[in-house]
Amino acid sequence: MAWSSPPAQGPLADALAQLAATVEHLGYDDGMHQMLATARREMQVSVPLRRDDGSVHVYSGYRVQHNFSRGPAKGGLRFAANVDLDEIRALAMWMTWKCALVDVPYGGAKGGVAIEPRDHSVGELERVTRRYTSEIAPIIGPEVDIPAPDIGTDEQTMAWMMDTYSALVGHTVQGVVTGKPVGLGGSRGRATATSRGVAHIALLALAAHGFEPEGTTAAVQGFGKVGHDAARFLAAAGVIVRAVSDVDGAVYARDGLDIARLSAHAERTGSVAGFPGAEPLDPADLLTLDVDVLVPAAIEGVLTADNAERVQARFVVEGANGPTTKDADAILLQRDVVVVPDILANAGGVIVSYFEWVQAHQAYQWSEREVNDRLEERLTTAWHDVVEYAGAHALTYRQAATALAVRRVTEAHRQRGLYP
């Protein structure tokens, strides 16, 4: 293989193993495998920050553009202390498959800065965002690569990115990022799109396996951009959400958490921990609770060979990107746990990012109803595509979703041809 030695463990190892199995299933040659396994472009930048106390610290930043075959690259920007290039490479590859699976006209990308946002003031985060944006400005743009929020970033981060990019090119460019505030050309429904999609796909999966939402039990890991509203939407559909966690703790209520009251508590105190309407829980135990549906909606690599044997859920619906390692995936398969993969379950975010980009091009804002209807329609189509392909080829949902996506990317690549 042409790429330098891939890691043995971690998200990139998992992503490459999924791809290798898919390439084998589809019967592609080594050249195509290399095209699909390697990023078209990677940029590594230093991001110097003048801190509020006057000192200077330099952070590492990355933008990886995995693929452009179906359109501009697309994917989030992550601020987290442990971000590294291999993680961003994996996340960029997953974005390519996600966009292809839900048939939005994008390739895949991801960015990151190795910074812990909780340790910084708003002013420092603004300066880091603006400097990072100016460093990667030569390789982003509405027709090139369109960042969006991810872990540790939000609509304010996107507003700063749009403003910095616009200042550099001399005019306002709304389509350079998605996940912006609605007043700045953001889309109605974008903030809740990922979680709406997670809940929608979870309910489709339950129905396909003969489960009614009422009385079904769930646990949600993560109470941020994805987990919070996923818990809310699931509860609204009648699912008993027994446990949720965040970085500071976890809470459990056998008869179901009152998500509205829990949200108010988390809003007030900064964490779900200490919620008076529930018992405290060790966050690690959330993954192995006696529930029907487990929604890992925090970070990658949480379901591993060490805990997958103890997962009691019948369904794992991946709100996060890459929460299940390849070893855990094999164990869950052998134990008949239905895993609904990230590139399907959490694709609602990038679908509505696509709608936001379309609205920016049209300079016209859609109603929330229109956004949500179109979101659910696209996810439902992707769900049926995956179920049908999995059935026809005796594959898991992850294998089927990856195969459909890789096939679409490869078809586009073949139709365009190799330049020169």
Given 74, 98, 110, 225, the catalytic residue? 110
The correct pick among 16, 93, 114, 148 for binding ligand GLU (CB under 6 A) is 148
Q: How far is CA 110 from CA 38, 43, 52, 150, 169, in A?
A: 14, 11, 28, 9, 22
Which one-letter amino acid corresponds to residue 206? L
The correct pick among 164, 187, 217, 321 for binding ligand GLU (CB under 6 A) is 321
CA dist., res. 420 & res. 418, Å (int): 6
Q: Which among 12-20, 70-78, 333-341, 402-410 is the span making contact with ligand GLU, rule CB under 6 A?
A: 70-78
136-149: b or e for each residue (b if 16 or more CB lie within 10 Å)?
bbeebebeebbbbb
Q: Taking the complex as a whole, how short is the minimal distance between the CB of residue 269 and ligand GLU, in angstroms? A: 26
Nearer of residues 149 and 213 to ligand GLU, judged by Cβ = 149
CA dist., res. 165 & res. 161, Å (int): 6
| Sheet order of strands, 240-246 included | 279-281, 249-252, 240-246, 217-221, 293-296, 315-317, 338-340
CA dist., res. 236 & res. 229, Å (int): 10
3-state secondary structure of 294: strand
Nearer of residues 76 and 227 to ligand GLU, judged by Cβ = 76
Known active-site residue 110: yes
The correct pick among 11, 61, 72, 76 for binding ligand GLU (CB under 6 A) is 76
3-state secondary structure of 110: strand
Nearer of residues 162 and 350 to ligand GLU, judged by Cβ = 350
Whether residue 7 is preceded by a cis peptide bond, meaning omega within 30 degrees of 0, is no
314 binds ligand GLU (CB under 6 A): no
Q: Taking the complex as a whole, how short is the minimal distance between the CB of residue 249 and ligand GLU, in angstroms? A: 25
Q: How far is CA 311 from CA 178, 202, 264, 413, in A?
A: 36, 17, 30, 39
Are the CB atoms for 218 and 234 separated by under 8 Å? yes
x/- track of binding to ligand GLU for residues 109-128 (CB under 6 A): --------------------
| Dihedral sign, Cα of residue 32, residue 12, residue 342, residue 195 | negative
Q: Hey, what long-range contacts does 166-172 have (CB within 8 A, 24 or more apart)?
A: 168/134, 168/137
Nearer of residues 224 and 349 to ligand GLU, judged by Cβ = 349
Which residue number places its CB atom closest to ligand GLU? 76
Nearer of residues 110 and 127 to ligand GLU, judged by Cβ = 110
Q: Taking the complex as a whole, how short is the minimal distance between the CB of residue 170 and ligand GLU, in angstroms? A: 25
Nearer of residues 213 and 323 to ligand GLU, judged by Cβ = 323
CA dist., res. 274 & res. 327, Å (int): 34
Site for ligand GLU in 346-365 (CB under 6 A): 346, 349-350, 353
Total number of residues binding ligand GLU (CB under 6 A)?
Answer: 11
Site for ligand GLU in 171-210 (CB under 6 A): 178
Q: Taking the complex as a whole, how short is the minimal distance between the CB of residue 216 and ligand GLU, in angstroms? A: 25
Q: Taking the complex as a whole, how short is the minimal distance between the CB of residue 178 and ligand GLU, in angstroms? A: 5
Residues that bind ligand GLU (CB under 6 A): 74-76, 148, 150, 178, 321, 346, 349-350, 353
Active site residues: 110
